[in-house]
Structure 1
Amino acid sequence: MAPSEPPASSAGGLLQLFRDGEPRTRAHLAQVTGLSRPTVAQRIDQLIELGLIAPVADAASTGGRPSAQLAFNPRARVVLAADLGALHARVAVTDLRGELLAEISTPREISSGPEAAISWILDSAEELLPGLGYDLSHVAGVGIGVPGPVEFSTGRPINPPIMPGWDRFDIPSAIRSRIDAPVLVDNDVNIMALGELATAWSGVTDLIFVKVASGIGAGIVSGGSLRRGANGAAGDIGHIALARAADTPCPCGNRGCLEAVASGRALARALSTPEAPLHRPSAVVALAKAGDVHAIQLIRQAGRDIGEVLTACVSIMNPSAIVIGGTMAQAAEHLVAGVREVVYARSIPLSTEQLTIAPSVAAGNAAIYGAAQLAIDAALAPERIAAALGG
């Protein structure tokens, strides 16, 4: 839509008013948009034809004939949301409001390559949709999070350190081979930041979401918008140098990265013994929950290390919230305590006066909620609605 065009001057623009779920009458829409009643009626008929809005119960009468109300129909179509982690994969179906309808998850290594992962996503969708009364033709959009840098404009991972075989792989084209819908791909931490923001921090405009799992990364929201950076690499805090890790090798090929000593993978390695090797961050969390003192100490130190890097981030962008998510956030009592200890001690008082540091509220659903939101926004964008109407 052209910037000078009134927001509701097209059917797609009018639809945005309905997305809050509130019923509206034609008369009210004409009043708030400034459009003529015949124009509003035409736009409404187009949206009803697409199934995106539908009549609801009549408004309470104030005398005379009650006015028919219309409301957004979130079940007109569905979207797919996929969360591909280093060691797990999850696919969910949501309605157009982001409500979770069905899901499949499984342990799956991202290193198995893109073709197998894309096939799994599509096969999972075909397994889930019939039970909900839909098929692939009802999918309005697809959102996918992956554990590496992504060129958002193309949906291609760019030199992802822990994703062998994925570099510049055209994920959207692979999905669109079977689904005719917009496909949005982003770094998993960006996706989680969006999901967390929508779930628990809707009034916050400046937030850092930190995922601590096999690796470490951050999603940055500033001024109410997700900041991806010039090449989609914003928030890659896991590979910021940490003084105490100077001699520790990192999977990225460098030495001294935060991720090399504070990630779930690093903690599992530090806690492993020949008799009891640990392979996953979840095993570290299990030890901490069982009261293992060594595990608790290492998690607390990991929080301090992460806090050291975040102190610089606080000075640069002055967020009002730092949210800790990912597998290791299941040990939030110890991890978040370490982060708070350093950030509050080393940041200037003005930066931390209104700063909240807390574990994720969306928790394991953050990536799914965020991926769904990306897909929904793309599917319901005014230009997409115009295309559906042949405009």
Structure 2
Amino acid sequence: MLSFCLMSRLATTGEVLQLIRSGEAATRADLGRVTGLSRPAVVHRVTELLQRGLVVEDAEGPSTGGRPPVRLRFNAAGGVVPVASLGASRTQIAVCDLSGAILDRTEVVIDVEEGPDVVLPLVMDTWEKLLNGRAPVVGVGLGVPATVEFAAGRTESARVMAGWTGVEIPPLIAARYPVPVLVDNDVNAIAMGEHRVAYAAELGDLLFVKVSTRVGAGVISNGAILRGALGAAGEIGHIPVRDGGGVLCRCGNTDCLDSVASGTAILRHLRAKGRDVHSLADVTALVRAGDAETMAVVRQAGRWLGEVISGAVNLLNPAVVVLGGDVAEMFQPLVSGVREIVYRRSTQLATRTLRIERTRLGPAAGLTGSALMVIDQILAPEAI
């Protein structure tokens, strides 16, 4: 708890805000008791937060004798965070408040391979429409289907956006929105949103696997995103599987998970078997109709996913594996295939309490995660 380490030193204004945001302190008296600050020091810090619009005074709280205390509440409406989650098949765009809640959102069809000069202005124009005169923009968050050098916001090894490789995105957005701009891998943002909204209260370790046009993963370790030394953690799409048939992957290797178990791969497998499928919706229709061959293809994709995920489970020991993305959300046979292999091949201890579940948030997770990524930075005690 934050309060545990504050009694030995003076709490900063940022730490006072954290106590109010977390609910540890709801009145000026609470703040004095938790931090050990004098009454004038508490008043000074609270006044600063009130003036900056980060805290508001609520109706009077319950009295314990005498005048009831005025309660303090974090003001989630004190600013807005435009966010976007770029994808190969669809892009989610939204505006969030300072709690990460989505105020307005839309989905647009953008060919991300047209490059940042085309895509980013379209995203920013869409933000402008969604903002519609709302509170000041305090930060911008973006999730992209690429490995991202997080500190610089530079995209590398783009999975579906070859024209973006080596592009430093924040300056391109900051030219229009002069606020902190944070960019991360799309699955990292999804993992953060899924964890913080659906799981943070019960567990700290989560593996999110997105199965859509491509395959990627986001790792939450002890409540925080695990990015690795250069931001390349979670790129499970380029781990080879056994008996994949020698399929050439776009990375140059053969039988990568991307090339045999993604939505693109499932469509290719079914077309090779004579099925007239043009989209995942066509595959869904065949699964619902009970087409045995289609269900077998989907379940095999799940087994290949399970083969790679089982290695990640042994290595990371997550409390839950969450499967998301269009493919995982549509096809129960795929989820069953993952469970079959993971529970068979992972160690007994790693799977003793392991849960394998479908996403609880769906497409909203990437938007919420992108907002939280920004909020965590701009409202960190040292930033305040």
Report if aligned partners of 1:217, 1:238 keep a CA contact under 8 Å in 2: yes
Q: Confirm whether residue 134 of structure 1 aligns to residue 134 of structure 2.
A: yes
Deviations 1:202-252 (CA, angstroms, capped at 9, x unpaired):
121221110000111111112222111111111111100112125101122
Change (3 A) 1:107 1:280: farther
Alpha-carbon deviation of 1:331? 2.5
Secondary structure at the counterpart of residue 186 of structure 1: strand
Q: Which residue of 1 aligns with 2:342?
A: 343
Indicate which of 196, 199, 205 corresponds to 1:198.
196
Secondary structure at the counterpart of residue 149 of structure 1: strand
Alpha-carbon deviation of 1:292? 3.1
Q: Which residue of 1 aligns with 2:286?
A: 287
Deviations 1:176-195 (CA, angstroms, capped at 9, x unpaired):
01112111111111111101
Question: Which amino acid in structure 1 is aligned with residue 186 of structure 2?
Answer: D
Q: Confirm whether residue 354 of structure 1 aligns to residue 353 of structure 2.
A: yes
Report if aligned partners of 2:26, 2:71 keep a CA contact under 8 Å in 1: yes
Question: Which amino acid in structure 2 is aligned with residue 118 of structure 1?
Answer: L
Distance in 2 (alpha carbons) for counterparts of 1:7 and 1:148: 43
Q: Which residue of 1 aligns with 2:166?
A: 168
CA-based RMSD: 2.0
Question: Which amino acid in structure 1 is aligned with residue 153 of structure 2?
Answer: G
Distance in 1 (alpha carbons) for counterparts of 2:273 and 2:348: 46
Change (3 A) 1:334 1:321: same
Secondary structure at the counterpart of residue 123 of structure 2: helix
Distance in 1 (alpha carbons) for counterparts of 2:277 and 2:122: 27
Alpha-carbon deviation of 1:28? 1.0
Question: 4+ residue runs of structure 1 moved beyond 6 angstroms?
Answer: 4-8, 273-276
Give the aligned length.
378
TM-score, length-scaled by structure 2 = 0.93
Q: Confirm whether residue 12 of structure 1 aligns to residue 10 of structure 2.
A: no
Change (3 A) 1:277 1:106: farther
Q: Confirm whether residue 178 of structure 1 aligns to residue 180 of structure 2.
A: no
Report if aligned partners of 1:282, 1:327 keep a CA contact under 8 Å in 2: no
Change (3 A) 1:195 1:8: farther
Report if aligned partners of 2:159, 2:214 keep a CA contact under 8 Å in 1: no
Report if aligned partners of 1:25, 1:67 keep a CA contact under 8 Å in 2: yes
Change (3 A) 1:249 1:47: same
Distance in 2 (alpha carbons) for counterparts of 1:274 and 1:339: 23
Report if aligned partners of 1:249, 1:260 keep a CA contact under 8 Å in 2: yes
Q: Which residue of 1 aligns with 2:371?
A: 372
Q: Which residue of 1 aligns with 2:141?
A: 143
Question: Which amino acid in structure 2 is aligned with residue 219 of structure 1?
Answer: G
Change (3 A) 1:10 1:169: same
Alpha-carbon deviation of 1:360? 0.7
Alpha-carbon deviation of 1:376? 1.3
Distance in 1 (alpha carbons) for counterparts of 2:77 and 2:25: 16
Report if aligned partners of 2:329, 2:359 keep a CA contact under 8 Å in 1: no
Indicate which of 50, 53, 58 corresponds to 1:51.
53
Report if aligned partners of 2:10, 2:36 keep a CA contact under 8 Å in 1: no
Question: Which amino acid in structure 2 is aligned with residue 261 of structure 1?
Answer: V
Q: Which residue of 2 aligns with 1:219?
A: 218
Query: Any stretches of 5+ residues in structure 2 without a counterpart?
Result: none
Distance in 2 (alpha carbons) for counterparts of 1:73 and 1:344: 45
Alpha-carbon deviation of 1:100? 1.1
Question: Which amino acid in structure 1 is aligned with residue 134 of structure 2?
Answer: Y
Q: Which residue of 1 aligns with 2:307?
A: 308
Deviates more, 1:279-288 or 1:73-82: 279-288
Q: Which residue of 2 aligns with 1:232?
A: 231
- Give identity over the alignment, percent: 44
Distance in 2 (alpha carbons) for counterparts of 1:191 and 1:7: 35
Deviates more, 1:262-271 or 1:241-250: 241-250
Secondary structure at the counterpart of residue 24 of structure 1: coil
Q: Which residue of 2 aligns with 1:32?
A: 34
Alpha-carbon deviation of 1:162? 2.0
Question: Which amino acid in structure 2 is aligned with residue 245 of structure 1?
Answer: G
Secondary structure at the counterpart of residue 45 of structure 2: helix
Report if aligned partners of 1:22, 1:71 keep a CA contact under 8 Å in 2: no
Q: Which residue of 2 aligns with 1:323?
A: 322
Report if aligned partners of 1:214, 1:280 keep a CA contact under 8 Å in 2: no
Report if aligned partners of 2:323, 2:359 keep a CA contact under 8 Å in 1: yes
Indicate which of 67, 70, 75 corresponds to 1:68.
70
Query: Any stretches of 5+ residues in structure 1 without a counterpart?
Result: 386-391
